[in-house]
Amino acid sequence: MSFTGSLVAIITPFRNGKVDEKALGDLIEWQIANGTDGIVPCGTTGESATLTHEEHKRVVEFTVQVVRRRVPVIAGTGSNSTDEAIEFTRHAKSVGADAALLISPYYNKPTQEGLYRHHKAVAEAVDLPQILYNIPGRTAVNMTPQTVARLAQIRNIIGIKEGAGSLQQVSEIVQLCGDRLTVLSGDDALTLPMLAVGAKGVVTVTANVAPAEMSALVDAWAAGDAAKARAIHYQIYPLFQALFLETNPIPIKHAVALMGKATAELRLPLCPMSQENLDKLTRVMKDLKLI
């Protein structure tokens, strides 16, 4: 199974404090209908940090049920506790997820050796394709290309969502790992330049509201049409900017709400967007005829 193309880091819609399964099911159907190549539930965008364990597992299971193997489901199963990451990954496998996305342990700041041992332990405990997720801005630790290359030797570690914001780092990972590892962009605005240095797709926030455009961007590059990919990149670049005016997933939840597809409800400590930023986001959505 291929884990490439435009993979949506899907929001977890809430209504009155509970997961809104009706809205989530409808969003998944809309994603698949608009060319999204895979669904990634319970990532940062899915507010995994404030889901209970029961909710987390239910969202993964529900996503698998709705998708019905039409596209891959890559479940967010990472934690800053290795045992907990193993538990979530085992569960994801048991309900039929196709792969797991494992964020680097956050807050406890492991060394490079600690990162290696963490991911090795999860990979050995659960026979499921696993994708590393490096995003130092959220975890306070950067996984070096050398550590990534060590982990790429492990059979079921098959990819990395790279969100350090460094094209130099992406280039080093591609150079060290070659075809052994699928590199995915972890930053929507860097998708095109990352494709240019060897990435094979993106785990995208923007696809929550512009799935066809994100899919078309990656597909154009894969088809060898750099000019078309560049044109799409610049067309939706204002959206990339607007969706990160405040901490993700605050803006994307408001954007989905503006389209009438779910509420903008968040869980504390995340709170609604400032009116000024919401006005900016609304203008961009109108300019792109998304609302």
Residues serving a catalytic function are 133, 161
For residue 51, which of 77, 82, 22 has the smallest C-alpha distance? Answer: 77
**122 contacts 86 by C-beta, under 8 angstroms:** yes
Q: Rounded to an integer, what distance in angstroms lies between the CA atom of residue 119 and that of residue 26?
A: 33
Write phi, then psi, for 59 (nearest 5 degrees).
Answer: -60, -45
For residue 203, what are its two tokens? Answer: 């785990």
Q: How many CB atoms lie within 10 A of CB 209?
A: 24
Q: How far apart are the two ends of the chain, measured CA to CA in Å?
A: 35
- Residue 216 contacts residue 37 (beta carbons within 8 Å): no
Residue closest to 23 by CA, chosen among 57, 53, 56, 63:
63
Question: Which structure tokens are listed for 128?
Answer: 């499921």
Q: Are strands 18-19 and 14-15 parallel, antiparallel or unpaired?
A: antiparallel
Contact 4, 203 (CB under 8 A): no
The residue type of 244 is F
**Is the separation of the CB atoms in 50 and 19 below 8 Å?**
no
What single-letter DSSP state applies at residue 158?
A: E
